Structure 1
Amino acid sequence: MRARTAIVASVADQGVAALTNILVLVAAARLTTVTDFARFSAVYLVFTVLLGAGGAYTGQPLVLRRGGGEDARGACRSAAVFTVAASAVLGALMAGVCVLVPGDTARALTVLGLVLPVVLGQDALRYAFSTLQRPHLALGSDLVRLACALGALSAQGYGTGPARLVAVWGLSALPALLLSALLLHRATSGTPVRLRPMLSRGYLGQRFVVEFGVGNATGQLSVLGLGAVADPLLVGALRGATTLFGPLNVLFTSATSFGPPLLGRITGERRRVRATAALAAVLAGTAALWATALVLLPDRAGRELLGDTWPVASALLPATGSQYAAMAAGTCGLLALRMLDPRTTLSIQVVFSLTAVVFMAGGYALGGVPGAAWGLCLGSVCKAVATWTRVVRLRRRSPAAGEVLSADALPSAP
């Protein structure tokens, strides 16, 4: 596939995935009360953490591979099998524990455990198609996912409980999973499944999942924790505000996950870094324009989107919009570092993610929920400055002789 066609297909795929995510949360907000949406948001936040961890462990090392030979095709097949198997085990453990706990949130978590292999498996196959440089296959699968999710959720009535919503949302991904599995089987037929390299010491995904754990997951779980000990509606308010930025959130994640195969087509390290900086400017500008449009949105239109959650979420839009503009710069900075030296991002993730948690807690203590949102914004600004400072330093440093930074350097199974 030509580079321009691949870029168009990848962008379209991310747009469809973004639309699916935002419509799921919009539908949940419209179908539930403020309290039930807070419960659903908490469960969806748990899913988001697991999704990010799965992508970090199997997806991100996968897209750093070069070439489309038998080794890459075998890695794609192995990553898909590993994700489904691991998520089935994790989901069974989650369901087994949560079924013993009373409450609507626990019931919804039980259902999440049961559908986890479906939703995580479908996402893992998107990484595989990106690595194989066949983003049009991922686009087709995500279009099926969007149609099924909209159809299933539109059949629900107001007052639907969180557990039922999770079940409907999760099972709606099954047709897309089956289609993707069939397409991947055809593309990788005859290649062996090797799971041992993904469990061996030194596997690059282990570093990436630690980065995610101290980065994205720390911030998201801290929101859950603060909501549990302080104000339960904090989760719903922050989740409602970030729902409106759903397309940008998916694009940021996709830039790190699916950007390397596309940027790898650009010759020369300097040109790749410049392209990444240009991408950061475009995404930051898009975030600023999107935030401005949301702030100017009439209350009536806002209630059509988020229902009863709109009043509490709309008050956070200036802070959340500013945070997303900073996140654009930070995400693209991390992408540049991944291409220059993927081992350099861990320290930044550790320091500045924990800093963001401190800022969020301090902001909440000083200014309640809006203060927490501005604290998260300040943390994102600090991380963005740190990432691009590291990029500049690495560009001035000559790479060590014989240093191999691609995932191709991972040990192969015997």
Structure 2
Amino acid sequence: MSRRGLAAVSSVLDQAASSATNILVLVLAARLSSASGFAGFSMVYVTFSVLLGLNMAYVGQTVVLEKGQGLPPDEAGAGLAVVCRSSVLFTAAASAVAGLVLAVVGLALTGATGRGFLALGLVLPLVLVQDGLRYCFSALRVPQRALAADTLRLVCVVAALAVQPSGASASRLVLVWGLSALPALGLGLWLLRPFVRGARAELRPYLRRGHLGQRFVVEFAVGNGSSQLAVLGLGAFATPLAVGALRGATTLFGPLNVLFNSANAFGPPVVGRAAGKRGVVRMTALMGVVLAVLGGGWAAVLYALPDRLGRHLLGDTWTAASALLPATGAQYAVMGLGTCALLTLRVLNPKATLSLQVVFSLLSVALLLGGHALWGVTGAAWGLAAGSALKAAAAWLRVARLRVPAPEAEALAA
């Protein structure tokens, strides 16, 4: 296998390891907790997911894109070392500030929820810095090092949570989950050290107006972050049990997230080689149909799962989560179509995606909240499915109406 092929395989496996970690954390937490306990853990974990996404958008994506561009060949390595060291230090500083805010919020709140947010504030710098190292390794074109660190992270967190007693509190589970990142963090920093030794960190670019990450944060906020915050809002203003049910249902579809993320990460270079707009659309439409069929098929498998096996996966949360499987399965089926429509637009006209994300992500939030107001948590799940379907339809309509100028069409065919 060529070096490029090995890097691609390592990147996919690293994404799979990271996704498996998130899935197994929620599965183990659900099995160890009561339905109400998992609901509290889910509220904390959704908060972490939003902060993780913001860090990925503001820091991670810019690290991957700023691969020493504009530097002479003999200075590219040194420039990339500065970028990587700077990203690690900025993530550490920013996550420490965010962790302090969470700790203050946790102290202000009462009960198990407050203790859960306090625990998250204490461990947030560990988990965000550990996750952020993968973008450095991607930029350095050594994803196998990210795979080594993230595999160790997976092993440690599963082992640490597996030995926790049944009925463990949300705060205890959050602390164990966060502290279990220490071995992977240490390994990742050790693997990164040869590449950044002697480099000087520059934090000012992250604080300047117009930093590239600011655009990515907007896209994340209106795309993924808005729906995550809406789910979190259900726990604050409706019932935490709704958060646990929704989170439990989406956890079961974790394997599909690996495929969606891989399509976003590795799709553009592959699709971009197709001949003109027609070739691009033909390829992405086929990918969308395949992902939609996989989503529907996976939903059918989960729906047919005996209750005994379902409880083995999610514990007491299975009863509420299983009722949402038809809606969540429909959502993931149309998400496959929508993911490939947005992938098409990124290849043909990257500027065409932001307006779609803004309008239809906010519409999804409105449908989620409206569905919950009318039909409870089941209505919320169907609201998310309807929002994803409308976004997919609008994205493919934009693709159909998109005109590719002749020079761009020739470039796509090259």
Q: Is the 8 A contact 2:105 2:114 kept in 1?
A: no
Q: Who is 2:411 aligned against?
A: none
Q: Who is 2:412 aligned against?
A: none
**Shift of the alpha carbon at 1:365?**
3.2
**Deviates further, 163-172 or 205-214:** 205-214
Does 2:244 align with 1:236?
Answer: yes
CA distance in 1, matches of 2:344, 2:140: 21
CA distance in 1, matches of 2:323, 2:23: 19
**Deviates further, 61-70 or 167-176:** 61-70
Q: Report percent identity of matched pairs.
A: 56
Does 2:104 align with 1:96?
Answer: yes
User: Which among 106, 119, 128 is matched to residue 127 of structure 2?
Assistant: 119
**Shift of the alpha carbon at 1:99?**
1.6
Q: Who is 2:33 aligned against?
A: 32
**Deviates further, 41-50 or 11-20:** 11-20
Q: How many residues align?
A: 398
**Shift of the alpha carbon at 1:14?**
1.6
**Shift of the alpha carbon at 1:279?**
4.3
Secondary structure of the residue that 2:200 maps to in structure 1?
coil
Q: Who is 1:384 aligned against?
A: 392
CA distance in 2, matches of 1:147, 1:320: 29
Secondary structure of the residue that 1:193 maps to in structure 2?
coil
Q: Who is 1:61 aligned against?
A: 62
**Shift of the alpha carbon at 1:315?**
0.8
CA distance in 2, matches of 1:272, 1:134: 29
Change (3 A) 1:31 1:117: same
Alignment of 1:128-139 (within 5 A): 128-139=136-147
CA distance in 1, matches of 2:367, 2:323: 19
CA distance in 2, matches of 1:212, 1:21: 19
Does 2:369 align with 1:361?
Answer: yes
Alignment of 1:147-166 (within 5 A): 147-166=155-174
Q: Who is 1:411 aligned against?
A: none
Q: Who is 1:80 aligned against?
A: 88
Q: Is the 8 A contact 2:271 2:283 kept in 1?
A: no
CA distance in 2, matches of 1:269, 1:82: 42
Secondary structure of the residue that 1:159 maps to in structure 2?
coil
**Shift of the alpha carbon at 1:185?**
2.0
Change (3 A) 1:326 1:17: same
Change (3 A) 1:230 1:92: closer
Give 1:388's aligned amino acid: W
CA distance in 2, matches of 1:285, 1:184: 40
Q: Who is 2:12 aligned against?
A: 11
Secondary structure of the residue that 2:108 maps to in structure 1?
coil
C-alpha distance after superposition, 1:102-154 (max 9, x if no partner)? 11111111110111111111111112222222221111111100110011111
Alignment of 1:193-232 (within 5 A): 193-232=201-240
C-alpha distance after superposition, 1:16-67 (max 9, x if no partner)? 1121111111110111111110000010000011111111111122323457
Give 1:19's aligned amino acid: A
Change (3 A) 1:9 1:96: same
Secondary structure of the residue that 1:99 maps to in structure 2?
helix
Does 2:266 align with 1:259?
Answer: yes
Does 2:329 align with 1:321?
Answer: yes
**Shift of the alpha carbon at 1:309?**
0.8
Change (3 A) 1:213 1:164: same
**Shift of the alpha carbon at 1:395?**
5.6
Q: Is the 8 A contact 1:30 1:305 kept in 2?
A: yes
Secondary structure of the residue that 1:333 maps to in structure 2?
helix
CA distance in 2, matches of 1:67, 1:168: 38
CA distance in 2, matches of 1:56, 1:399: 31
User: Which among 134, 140, 149 is matched to residue 148 of structure 2?
Assistant: 140
CA distance in 2, matches of 1:351, 1:322: 21
Does 2:52 align with 1:44?
Answer: no
Change (3 A) 1:366 1:92: closer
Q: Who is 1:412 aligned against?
A: none
**Shift of the alpha carbon at 1:342?**
4.3
**Shift of the alpha carbon at 1:196?**
1.8
C-alpha distance after superposition, 1:244-286 (max 9, x if no partner)? 1123235434544x437x8279657857776655544443333
CA distance in 2, matches of 1:251, 1:207: 25
Q: Is the 8 A contact 1:3 1:265 kept in 2?
A: no
**Deviates further, 199-208 or 265-274:** 265-274
Secondary structure of the residue that 2:95 maps to in structure 1?
helix
Change (3 A) 1:244 1:364: same
Secondary structure of the residue that 1:367 maps to in structure 2?
helix
Q: Is the 8 A contact 1:73 1:191 kept in 2?
A: yes
CA distance in 2, matches of 1:64, 1:332: 21
TM-score with structure 1 length normalisation? 0.88
Change (3 A) 1:275 1:55: farther
TM-score with structure 2 length normalisation? 0.88
Q: Who is 1:285 aligned against?
A: 293
Q: Is the 8 A contact 1:264 1:272 kept in 2?
A: no
